[in-house]
A and B are shown apart, each in its own frame.
Chain A
Amino acid sequence: MPEMIDQIFVLLKHWLLAYVPAALQPIVSAVLSVVPVLVAFPLLFAITTVLERKGLGRMQNRYGPNRVGPFGILQPMADGIKSLTKEDIIPRTADQVVHFLAPVMLVIASFVVYSVLPIGKNMVLANLNAGVLFFFAVGSMVELSVFMAGWSSRSKYSLLGAMRAIAQMISYEMPLVLASVVVIMAAGSLSTVAIVNMQAGYTGIWPRWYVFTPWGLTGFVIFMIAATAESNRCPFDMPEGESEIIAGYYIEYSGFKFALFFLGEYLGMFATSAMAITLFLGGWAAPFSFLTWIPSYVWFFVKLLIIIMAFIWVRGTLPRLRMDQLMNFAWKFMLPLSIINIVGAGVWHLIPAGFTRWLIDSLLVIVSCVLLSRGIRRGKSFHVRTYRFAS
């Protein structure tokens, strides 16, 4: 019975497909797979926006939205109606076509990456044998659309925002990919489905997730930090920087195009979080062997919501980084650490299982982390800032 509930969506799809003539089956099958993703994740976006606003409010000792519907849960609908009815302004000097294409492309790119993410057991749109590679390749399209938006608006603020975004995204793309290399080394496959299947077993009641190894934990932390930067969220929201460059690359966007940018950004965040789950947190696998009766897709979304919660928590805590801090952190800390981590993962596979490899790997990571952080701080003296005023 648990098995059937777990596979209910797969069975439902096959049952529906049986009623379709054979010639139409491939296309109907594709539609039946894609539509749930197109519905579920924007819905998650709507829920996330209201949860984020309420959560941030509580962290700042405010109520957050509580007027629309019970406890403000209908707020996203009000926001949607508002953005649909707003005037869509295109600057006269803007490049009309590119200006229009940028948000569309962002949303398309954000949706396409979901095709390789296993949402549950046997629930993946396309089991590509280079799934991880596909994910990062399509994910880079976000950079392109961001720059399209910034460049086509013909506004100095949007161009500044786009330049910052490109600098930041390219810098953090590298640790992001290098952090996932350790998992590819361990799993021996680029297929997301194979990676999850590798982690789906249990030793005793404990799961075999990659995050429970020294290199996995380091990789996960690096991946999450880089994912925060990739999705332009606090504390890496330099490209948007409301207080400096107003809204960065989407300053010239209004109405529903702005909402599309917003949607694309959140979808990107969900996608990278889902990738982190797939690579390090065992995808749809249950955290304990005795909890496998809960359907796999439930576990996937629970993990996703926990990661989103962490994103919101970090956003409510940290202030925005400065550009030089951002770049120093990416190039002087994240990149060397992720490369050392790859070495650590290699060492792990060479040494036979036991306490030794734990010790060696942990030491490698901790020592390099301490040294690198010391390297960042070198030549910097922290003191209370004093101001001199003209007399």
Chain B
Amino acid sequence: MLGEGILKGLTETARNFLGSYVSKDRLTTIQFPEERLPQIEATRDFPFLVYDGTEWEAGLRCVSCQICEKECPPKCIYIEKSKDKKPDATGKLQFYPTTFNIDISVCMSCQICVEVCPFDAIKMNVEFEMSSEDRFGGLLLRKEQLAKSNEYYNKIHPTEATAVDAALAEERAKAEAKARQTTEAKAATPAPMATPEAGETK
């Protein structure tokens, strides 16, 4: 019969129309600013810099090795390396970035900077409401805006951060053990000056 399918379609839309007033389950829309879905753990958008302890400037893990700057595909990272060294969170003397800028209008959230960082100093953030009235300056994040504490990192990516913390602790313990050995060895035989371990930083 001509028109049978049209009637079927009309009943379907009528059922949707009335049903959307009766059952809330039909409406899948999340009314965004008021309601929010929880973010999945692997959420990522732009990088930030991790610092240990409470002082962000002193605790930055970044040692200004500039690998991320070189690896960044769209070249959105700009680093100026310091001339002097300052003690890091563990008290060891390190270079530090005098300038660390990320232009998030250029950043493509590829996470390559995170993958190449040997010091676990740069990680991906989850904050996305970063609109700004200043098209250039407002989207250029400086060192002080990028620095986020390790606790914050633990909060946004718990699993990943726990693994990173464990690895760092292990490395640190290993370095301490090695340092103790060398001092003991030095004490036993007064040999020529032992070179400090360059790779072991934390």
Residues of chain A having any CB pair with chain B under 8 Å: 55, 58-63, 313-314, 316-318, 369-370, 373, 376
Contact = CB atoms under 8 A, between A and B. Distances in A.
Contacts of B28: 61
B179 interface: no
Given A63-B27, A63-B29, A373-B2, A317 B12 contact: yes
A376 B1 CA distance: 12
Nearest to A377: B2
A313 B17 CA distance: 9
A62 B16 CA distance: 10
Point out which of B1, B2, B12, B19 has the most chain A C-beta atoms below 10 A from its C-beta: B2
B10 interface: yes
Q: Tell me which of A61, A316, A318, A370 has the highest count of chain B C-beta atoms within 10 A of its own C-beta.
A: A61
B2 A58 contact: no
A317 B6 contact: yes
Interface in B1-29: 1-2, 6, 9-10, 12-14, 16-17, 19-21, 26-29
Contact of A317 (B2, B10, B19, B27): B10
A59 B13 contact: yes
Nearest to A373: B2
A317 B29 contact: no
A63 B29 CA distance: 7
B187 to A, nearest CB: 75
Nearest to B11: A317
Contacts of B27: 61-63
A59 B9 contact: no
Nearest to B18: A58
Interface string B60-95: 000000000000000000000000000000000000
Given A317-B9, A317-B10, A318-B9, A59 B16 contact: yes
Nearest to A57: B20
Nearest to B26: A61
B155 to A, nearest CB: 32
Contact of B14 (A62, A313, A370): A313
B20 A61 contact: yes
Interface size classification for chain B: 10 to 19
Contacts of A59: 13, 16-17
A369 B3 CA distance: 11
A61 B10 contact: no
Contacts of B13: 59, 313, 316-317
A370 B4 CA distance: 12
Contacts of B20: 58, 61
A55 B26 CA distance: 15
Given A59-B13, A61-B27, A370-B1, 19 more contacts: A58-B21, A59-B16, A60-B16, A61-B19, A61-B20, A61-B28, A62-B29, A63-B27, A63-B31, A313-B13, A313-B14, A313-B17, A316-B13, A317-B6, A317-B10, A317-B13, A370-B2, A373-B1, A373-B2
Contacts of B10: 313-314, 317
Contacts of A58: 16-17, 20-21
Contact of B17 (A55, A63, A369, A373): A55
B164 to A, nearest CB: 42
Contacts of A314: 10
A369 B27 CA distance: 40
Contacts of B14: 313
Contacts of B21: 58
25 contacts: A58-B20, A58-B21, A59-B16, A59-B17, A60-B16, A61-B16, A61-B26, A62-B27, A62-B29, A63-B27, A63-B29, A313-B10, A313-B13, A313-B14, A313-B17, A316-B13, A316-B17, A317-B6, A317-B10, A317-B12, A318-B6, A318-B9, A369-B2, A370-B1, A373-B2
A376 B3 CA distance: 13
B123 to A, nearest CB: 36
A182 to B, nearest CB: 21
A369 B1 CA distance: 10
Contacts of B17: 55, 58-59, 313, 316
Interface string B19-45: 111000011110100000000000000
Contacts of A369: 2
Nearest to B10: A317
Which of B10, B13, B21, B26 has most chain A Cβ within 10 Å? B13
A205 B19 CA distance: 35
A369 B16 CA distance: 30
A313 to B, nearest CB: 6
Contacts of A373: 1-2
A316 B2 CA distance: 20
